[in-house]
Amino acid sequence: MNIDLAVIGGSGLYSFPGLENATRHSVDTPFGPASGDVVIGDFAGKRVAFMARHGESHTVPPHRVNYRANLWALHSLGARTVIGVNAVGGIRADMGPRVIVVPDQVIDYTHGRYTSFCDIEGAEVKHIDFSEPYTEALRRRLIVAAGRAGVPVLDGGCYGATQGPRLETRAEIARMRRDGCDLVGMTGMPEAVLARELDIAYACLALVANFAAGCGDEAEISIEEIFAHLAAATAEVPRILAELLKS
């Protein structure tokens, strides 16, 4: 099956606006069920596949997402280029609510997740190079596409992946800042490394929903405000991806 681009939608992105002639595909994987069906249709003159990382009703928490099944399902249908759309908190001062970032580095603080396809019996053990966790050529294409779409994005930044589903403490965010993290999210890993194991070109569009704990003026982070900011940032995603597909 010919798929020009696959998109994994995070919190706030449960369907892909503008996807036409869509068909649904349920894929059996060696790793159990994926988060849901893969929806494939036409967008900007290309074939696009979409999957909601948390399920279409947001029923799968970040630490229970079957990342291996999700990537395997997309790959088995023909996806070789994937954009992960991730809701994040901003740590760096210029990464406040509604800002869109194309990160270039990751620090993984998660635990207990299946992080490799090598975990199944008889699988080849691959020691992949993960020095650059995102595909640089795809990152550059995303940034250029955003510029053509007139959508401001920040180039680069370190994504700190935490376990969730709870938000982080002030002390945890302070540690992450000392470690060099600019953003904090719950779904960036192991998605990126699994894509690398499958030789999938992968990049992240990180949508800042809020300042992380202790980084903004708010005494408490409001879930209602988070989703309002996410909705505003998410509305820009189809414009960026339409320009990406044109390139």
**Does the annotation list 189 as a binding residue?**
no
**Does the annotation list 186 as a binding residue?**
yes
Residues contacting residue 164 through CB under 8 Å, at least 6 positions apart: 61, 62, 63, 186, 187
Nearest to 85 by CA among 242, 238, 228: 238
Domain that holds residue 138: 5-246
Q: What is the mean pLDDT of the chain?
A: 95
Residues 87/207, Cβ–Cβ less than 8 Å? yes
pLDDT in tens, 183-202: 999 999 999 999 999 999 99
* Per-residue exposure over 70-98, b if at least 16 CB sit within 10 Å of its own CB, e if not: bbbbbbebebbbbbbbbbbbbbbeebebb
**Does the annotation list 113 as a binding residue?**
no
* Per-residue exposure over 145-162, b if at least 16 CB sit within 10 Å of its own CB, e if not: bbeebebebbeebbbbbb
Residue 65 sits in a domain whose CATH number is 3.40.50.1580
Residue 195 neighbours by CB distance under 10 Å: 28
* Residue 247 pLDDT greater than 90, yes or no: no
Which pLDDT band, with edges at 50, 70 and 90, does 217 fall under? confident
- How much is the pLDDT for 125? 85
- How much is the pLDDT for 224? 83
- How much is the pLDDT for 122? 76
What are the structure tokens assigned to 148, written together? Answer: 């053509």
pLDDT in tens, 66-118: 999 999 999 999 999 999 999 999 999 999 999 999 999 999 999 999 999 98
- How much is the pLDDT for 156? 98
* Residue 218 pLDDT greater than 70, yes or no: no
pLDDT in tens, 126-148: 899 999 999 999 999 999 999 99
pLDDT in tens, 167-176: 999 999 999 9
Please report how the helices 237-246 and 136-149 are oriented relative to each other, as an axis angle in degrees rounded to 10.
Answer: 110
Full 3-state SS string of the chain: CCCCEEEEECCCCCCCCCCEEEEEECCCCCCCCCCCCEEEEEECCEEEEEEECCCCCCCCCHHHCCHHHHHHHHHHCCCCEEEEEEEEEECCCCCCCCCEEECCEEEECCCCCCCCHHHCCCCCCCCCCCCCCCCHHHHHHHHHHHHHHCCCCEECCEEEECCCCCCCCHHHHHHHHHHCCCEEECCCCCHHHHHHHCCCEEEEEEEEEEECCCCCCCCCCCHHHHHHHHHHHHCCHHHHHHHHHHC
- How much is the pLDDT for 121? 76
* Residue 219 pLDDT greater than 70, yes or no: no
- How much is the pLDDT for 242? 97
The pTM score is 0.94
**Does the annotation list 63 as a binding residue?**
no
Which pLDDT band, with edges at 50, 70 and 90, does 1 fall under? confident
In which residue are the tokens 């569009």 written?
205
- How much is the pLDDT for 126? 83
**Does the annotation list 176 as a binding residue?**
no
**Does the annotation list 187 as a binding residue?**
yes
What are the structure tokens assigned to 25, written together? Answer: 């595909």
* Residue 225 pLDDT greater than 90, yes or no: no
Give me the number of domains the chain comprises.
1
pLDDT in tens, 4-58: 999 999 998 999 999 999 999 999 999 999 999 999 999 999 999 999 999 999 9
